[in-house]
Structure 1
Amino acid sequence: MTASLSRGLGAALLTALATLPLTLHAQAGAACDPASTAAASRNACAVQAFQEADTALNIRYLDVMQQLPQGKRTGLRHDQNGWIKGRTARCKAATRDSETQPEGPRLYHECLTAATQERMQALERWLQH
């Protein structure tokens, strides 16, 4: 495994670890049932949607890293790590008022999902330069 690919995997791991405590908290009590209106189920569905988006992002990040010339990989790695930290901070700030409410985990994970989906498009731009 190349050093840059190894660092890329490190960024993917950082993403997973950054959101693990909130993800585990939201998953503790319920399974996702899209037909349910219960907060716990809606929270679980939001967590599941985020996990799917985050997994897709991590896979795409590694694909982009492999396609980039060696000289651009360090820039993408720094950009991705900064984006991960910023995403978490922005979503925590955006949902701070609801974090103790039943819908708090859902709102937080919906924010993470939206930001993650936007990032997928940003990764594509790295290949166009």
Structure 2
Amino acid sequence: MVKHTGRPGYLQIADDLRAQIRGGALAPGTPLPSTAQLAEQYDASLSVVKMAVGILRNEGLVIGQQGKGVFVRDQADASAGSDLADEVAELRTAVQDLSARLAKVEEQLATSTTRRSARGSR
């Protein structure tokens, strides 16, 4: 049940579910109760429960499967997600570097073409 502590209800629900996941009460592969069941369990609205589950998704603790529900992720899978994020960051850096190098080559090419045009018009 959500308590009137000044802390938003969705954070309280996320904290409780997170503790259950980390404590082993909700094991990897276990489905979370439905949104409606969680809303009843915590005496909260559906939107508050959805926000709480969204936090857990962003943290990589749970994963949704369309039409099947939301399941507790295996922590090995969650760490693979962080590896993927690292790889994406490396790719972004490489693309930025290549873009800067390409801009430099294009600038040199434009300067070289301008010089040739100036020589040819003399």
TM-score bracket, normalised by the shorter chain, equals under 0.3
TM-score calculated relative to the size of structure 2? 0.28
Larger helix proportion, structure 1 or 2? 1
Give the number of the structure with larger relative contact order, counting CA–CA contacts within 8 Å between residues 6 or more apart.
Answer: 1
